[in-house]
């Protein structure tokens, strides 16, 4: 196990009716920027609930709306202007990971003397931020309980992650009922995202981070057990609750700290989303099985066997490569069973930009569990076609 | 899954050399009460390291020493007097759970206008406290990452738990190397303590807290895998590291929140320690298997099968009571293999106070996974003789 610094100050109010705790926001200030996407929070009645609580808490709010999936730097800049114009104290995100990520960089940009894109390119420039509070409506990114944010500039075809302790939400409201109306497709993409975060934390070269590895397996098992249930029965509270909590734990440090993690599938997927604006979780689902097959080797086979035995209940006996391949096949079949596209060609991506995208992310993939050159990434893209 | 509020603000600096982060203590004040037990931290050189860092951080310190295992209210009162006399800003515990628990109640007592025992009897009276910082030297109680404390008054034969968010340490230093010198017996008792915390959080009537249940199993597996290793090879870093981190996670909320937990073995053991001053973990090891056998029934057998299959790798097929009993037998054999006494008679306890002790804890055991009357507790004590 490697040395680590655990620092997860975000409070979580979890469960039915947890929204009532939103009134705690007044502790952080009276002037609020309310950030959300399109009209789904209005359709489900959550918008009205939020506004009522803000009113009762004697706060005032300004809105930043229409935040996109794969949130754009333009939305961030718009939010920064609103914060300055209206002397905002707190940024409140009501939505999924995209809305929360946008809100985080707005919160940092509001107190930064320069363009917010600097903060995406240079996370170390985030030395202060307005307090962030979230109301989560999608089990996926885990952004509600960490300091990370991913922002896109579609003009330059860049989708980049940034992060800082300053961006960790003060508190997050997590009511599984707020995810009942998430579509089957987005539910599946969210599950693929949670599983990918866990895989990136699980497949690491570090030996002996046993507790973390077992917890990763716990979260993967939760996704496998409850994923199909949430898709078949969108209002299955138990399924939605376990997926929601698994989503937070997959990427709040519990799984990664003490490991040596350097994600590779995520940087590759960020290229897909930056070039084609596809749903992040869909891109991850498509890339994960080919990535697993590509990195399977004499060096990594034991880890894949561990995965197969502990997560899929496979028998450890037999040729380890056979066990590993069955585990990978089962992963692919599971993601497919959720209704996810499993080929790049299914989402309108051909090989036109493979080389460009692979070169763009090479710097980040070279640190991975199995370091990947741009040629390796191209091979994985090809296998995913 | 039940509603929950997750709030774990304690920062953890984990790993080799983590002690260097102790200089962060100066953020919380310059006048420190240094709390420790007997001379073990001096023998291992940790005392000198701590004092050097405190000096370099331009802080001053006063000492509260000789804090006992099963820490006494008298030590707490002594600490409170020192805090007031010396205008202490921060309470620094260097030791295991007993030292930390004592430090916590000192921190609350220092700002409380009354006797500190009130704060043990009435946790709701803890509305403020000095900041607490810890340097952990024993993997066991998890006190380094939560707001709980257990204090004894041996005169009145009371050993009671208290707790408050105010008592959560600001940060804790967790260097597994600081546990290399822990004796085999205390290492084993610590493992029994960690496992008991996990059992108390695992055996609950709530359905559908799946993520939490799998994480409990992860921690139990870590204890089973690394426990014997830590006892055989006291300086096995990987073993000490995993046990140390498992100890924190067993009781920081990750396992319990969303469940319906009401501990029963702990209140029973607190009676043993209050009457006989035995090591807490030893008492837990002795009581756990008889408690398991006593509560095994048609209602609970499925949970014990789940435990046997997921933790001990038993085959789920066959008579569920057979599977459950094998799981319990394995638990008992494992604890015994660590060298722990497994009978009350081995630690000098006879049936003289069984009825008195059982009546003392009845109020608390009645809320448990399987509610226990004082007659039930007597039966378990008898089975543990």
- pLDDT confidence bin for B165, thresholds 50/70/90: very high
Mutation target among B7, B214, B221 for the A interface, most CBs of A within 10 A: B214
> Whole-number mean pLDDT of chain A?
96
A6 contacts B11? CB cut-off 8 A: yes
Structural domain for B345, as ranges: 182-383
Give every CB contact of residue B377 below 8 A, 6+ residues apart in sequence. Answer: B268, B357, B358, B361, B362, B365
Classified as helix, coil or strand, B54 is helix
Is B204 a member of any domain?
yes
Comparing B117 with A206, which gets the higher pLDDT? Answer: B117
Query: Among residues B143, B178, B213, which one ends one of the domains?
Result: B178
Q: Which residue of B has its CA nearest to A209?
A: B242
CB contact under 8 Å between B3 and A12, yes or no, is no
Q: How many domains does chain B have?
A: 2
In a domain, B206, yes or no: yes
Q: Using the 8-state DSSP alphabet, how is residue B110 labeled?
A: T
Counting every residue written for chain A, the total comes to 385
Q: Give the pLDDT band of residue A368 (cuts 50, 70, 90).
A: confident
**Residue of A11, A15, A215 with shortest CB distance to B215:** A215
Q: What is the DSSP letter of A20?
A: G
Look at residue A13 in the predicted model and tell me its pLDDT.
Answer: 98
Q: Which two tokens stand for residue B327?
A: 């799981």
Task: Identify whether the C-beta of residue B26 lies closer than 8 Å to the C-beta of residue B59.
Answer: yes
Question: Is the minimum CB–CB distance between A241 and chain B shorter than 8 Å?
Answer: yes
Predicted pLDDT at B143: 98
Return d(Cα A334, Cα A313) in angstroms, integer.
14
Predicted local distance difference test score (pLDDT) of residue B206: 86
Q: Which band of pLDDT confidence, cut at 50, 70 and 90, is reported for residue A341?
A: very high
Q: Which of A233, A245, A314 to mutate to test the interface with B (most CBs of B within 10 A)?
A: A245
Specify which residues A92 forms β-bridges with: A34, A133
The share of chain A scoring above pLDDT 70, in percent, equals: 100
pLDDT above 90 for B207: no
Q: Who contacts A251 (Cβ-Cβ below 8 Å, separation ≥6)? A: A141, A142, A145, A146, A148, A197, A201
Residue A209 shares a structural domain with residue A300 = yes
Cβ neighbors of B122 (< 8 A, separation 6 or more) are none
Q: What is the pLDDT of residue A361?
A: 94
Q: Encode pLDDT of A120-146 as tens digits.
A: 999 999 999 999 999 999 999 999 999
| Beta bridge pairs of residue A75 | none
Task: Give domain status of residue B5, yes or no.
Answer: no
Q: Are residues A350 and A258 in the same domain?
A: yes
For the cut 90, the answer to whether the pLDDT of residue B348 exceeds it is: yes
Same domain? B264 vs B143:
no
Is A6's Cβ below 8 Å from some Cβ in B? Answer: yes
Mean pLDDT computed over B321-346? 98
Specify if B373 maps to a domain: yes
- Is the domain of A262 the same as that of A133? no
**Is B210–A219 a contact, with Cβ atoms under 8 angstroms apart?**
no
The number of C-alpha atoms within 13 Å of A86 and in the hemisphere containing its C-beta is: 22
Q: What is the pLDDT of residues B282-295, one digit of tens each?
A: 999 999 999 999 99
Q: Is A249 near chain B, with CB under 8 Å? A: yes
pTM for this model (two decimals): 0.96
Interface check for A14 against chain B (CB to CB < 8 A): the answer is yes
Give the B window 117-176 contacts with A, CB below 8 Å.
176
Min distance B342 CA to chain A CA atoms (Å): 27
- Residue A4, in any domain of the structure: no
Residue B148 has pLDDT above 90, yes or no: yes
A338 and A190 both lie in a single domain: yes
Together in a domain, A84 and A195? no
Instruction: Please indicate, yes or no, whether residues B165 and B301 belong to a single structural domain of this protein.
Output: no
Which of A127, A152, A178 marks a domain boundary?
A178
Domain co-membership, A47 together with A189: no
Nearest-Å Rg of the Cα atoms of chain A is 20
Beta strand pairing call for A158-163 and A148-153? antiparallel
**Residue B88: strand pairing partners:** none
Task: Decide: A304 and A276 in contact? Cβ < 8 Å.
Answer: no
Indicate which CATH number applies to the domain containing A361: 1.20.1090.10
The pLDDT-based confidence of A209 (bands split at 50, 70, 90) is very high
Confidence of residue B271 (pLDDT cuts 50, 70, 90): very high
Cβ of B346: how many Cβ atoms within 10 Å? 12
pLDDT bucket at A81, cuts 50 / 70 / 90? very high
- Shared-domain flag, residues B120 and B248: no
| Cβ neighbour number for residue B207 with a 10 Å cutoff | 11
pLDDT tens digits, A25-54 = 999 999 999 999 999 999 999 999 999 999
Task: Tell me: pLDDT of A115 over 90.
Answer: yes
**Residues 195 to 224 of B: which have CB under 8 A from any A CB?**
207-211, 214-215, 217-219, 221-222
Residue from A214, A223, A240, A315 whose CB has the most chain B CBs within 10 Å, to mutate:
A214
Q: Which of A221, A277, A220, A254 is nearest to A69 (CA)?
A: A277
Q: Which of B339, B337, B383, B5 is nearest to B165 (CA)?
A: B5
CB of B223 closer than 8 Å to CB of B197? no
pLDDT digit string, tens, across residues B214-242: 999 999 999 999 999 999 999 999 999 99
What is the helix, strand, coil percentage profile of chain B, to 5?
55, 10, 35
Q: Where do runs of H (alpha helix) occur along chain A? A: 40-43, 46-56, 73-85, 97-109, 117-121, 184-202, 210-232, 237-249, 265-276, 280-295, 301-312, 320-337, 354-365, 374-383
B38 min Cα distance to partner chain A (Å):
28
Tell me how far apart the alpha carbons of residues B13 and B19 are, in angstroms, rounded to a whole number. 8
Q: Can you tell me the mean pLDDT for B134-150?
A: 97
Summary mean pLDDT of chain B: 96
Contacts of B46 (CB under 8 A, 6+ apart): B19, B94, B135, B137, B178
B306 and B158 in one domain? no
Q: How far is B84 from chain A (nearest CA, A)?
A: 30
Spell out which residues of chain A touch residue B172, defining contact as CB-CB under 8 Å.
none
> What does the pLDDT look like over B10-35, one tens digit per residue?
999 999 999 999 999 999 999 999 99
Residue B289 included in any domain: yes
Provide the Cα torsion B34, B38, B44, B49; round to 10°. Answer: 10
- On the question of pLDDT at A12 being above 90, the answer is yes
- Reply yes or no on whether the pLDDT at A261 is more than 80: no
Asked if residue A115 is part of any domain, the answer here is yes
Q: Give the percent of chain A with pLDDT over 90.
A: 96
Residue among B263, B286, B243 nearest B199 (CA): B263
pLDDT at A357: 96
Residue B369 DSSP one-character state: S
Rounded CA gap, B308 and B315, in Å? 8
Q: With a cut of 90, say whether residue A117 has pLDDT above it.
A: yes
A2 within domain boundaries: no
Contact A222 B238 (CB under 8 A): no
Same domain, A172 and A188: no
The residue from A178, A193, A217 where one domain ends is A178
Interface probe for A, chosen from B2, B6, B230 (most Cβ of A below 10 Å), is B6
B83: DSSP letter: H
The first and second tokens of residue A294, run together, are 């590509």
Predicted ipTM of the assembly:
0.95
pLDDT reported for residue B239: 98
Q: How many CB atoms lie within 10 A of CB B345?
A: 12
Rounded mean pLDDT, B314-321? 94
Query: What is the pLDDT at residue B111?
Result: 98
Do residue B215 and residue B244 come from a single domain? yes
Task: For chain B, give the percent of residues with pLDDT over 90.
Answer: 96
Predicted confidence band of residue A262 (pLDDT cuts 50, 70, 90):
confident
The domain that holds B168 is classified in CATH as 3.40.50.1970
φ and ψ at residue A366, rounded to 5 degrees: -75, -10
A51-76 tens-digit pLDDT: 999 999 999 999 999 999 999 999 99
Give the chain B residue nearest A168 (alpha carbons): B9
Q: Cα Rg for chain B, rounded, in angstroms?
A: 20
Q: Summarize the confidence of residues A252-273 as an average pLDDT.
A: 90
Contact call for residues A360 and A353 (beta carbons, < 8 A)? no
Minimal Cβ distance to A6: which of B12, B176, B225: B12
Q: Which residues of A touch B7 (CB under 8 A)?
A: 11-12
């Amino acid at each position: 196990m490697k040395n680590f610094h655990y620092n997860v100050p975000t409070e979580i109010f979890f469960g039915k009716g947890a929204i009532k705790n939103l009134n705690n926001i007044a502790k952080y200030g009276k002037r609020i920027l309310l950030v959300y996407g399109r009209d789904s929070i209005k359709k489900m009645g959550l918008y009205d609930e939020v506004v009522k609580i803000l009113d009762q808490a004697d706060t005032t709010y300004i809105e930043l709306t229409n935040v996109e999936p794969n949130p754009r730097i333009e939305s961030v800049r718009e939010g920064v202007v609103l914060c300055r114009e209206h002397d905002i104290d707190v940024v409140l995100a009501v939505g999924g990971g995209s809305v929360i990520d946008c809100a985080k960089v707005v919160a940092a940009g509001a107190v930064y003397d320069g363009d917010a894109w600097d903060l995406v390119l240079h996370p170390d420039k985030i030395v202060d931020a307005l307090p962030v509070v979230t109301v989560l409506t999608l089990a996926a990114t885990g952004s509600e309980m960490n300091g990370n944010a991913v922002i896109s500039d579609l003009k330059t075809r860049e989708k980049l992650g940034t992060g800082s302790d300053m961006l960790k939400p003060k508190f997050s409201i997590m009511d599984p009922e707020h995810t009942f109306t998430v579509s089957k497709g987005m539910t599946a993409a969210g599950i693929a995202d949670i599983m990918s975060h866990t895989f990136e934390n699980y497949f690491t070269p570090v030996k002996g981070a046993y507790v973390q590895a077992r917890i990763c397996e716990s979260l993967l098992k939760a996704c496998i057990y409850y994923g199909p249930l949430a898709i078949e029965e969108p209002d299955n509270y138990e399924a939605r609750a376990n997926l929601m909590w698994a989503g937070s734990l997959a990427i709040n440090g519990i799984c990664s700290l003490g490991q040596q993690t350097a994600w590779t599938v995520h940087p590759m997927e960020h290229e897909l989303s930056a070039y084609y604006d596809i749903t992040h979780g869909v891109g991850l689902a498509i890339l994960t099985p080919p990535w697993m097959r590509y990195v399977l080797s004499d060096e990594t086979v034991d880890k894949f066997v561990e995965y197969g035995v502990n997560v899929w209940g496979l028998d450890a006996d037999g040729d380890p490569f056979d066990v590993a391949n069955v585990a990978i096949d089962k992963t692919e079949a599971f993601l497919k069973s959720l209704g996810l596209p499993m080929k790049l060609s299914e989402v309108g991506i051909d090989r036109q930009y493979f080389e460009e995208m692979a070169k763009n992310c090479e710097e980040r993939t070279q640190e991975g569990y199995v370091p990947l050159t741009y040629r390796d990434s191209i091979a994985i893209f090809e296998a995913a076609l």
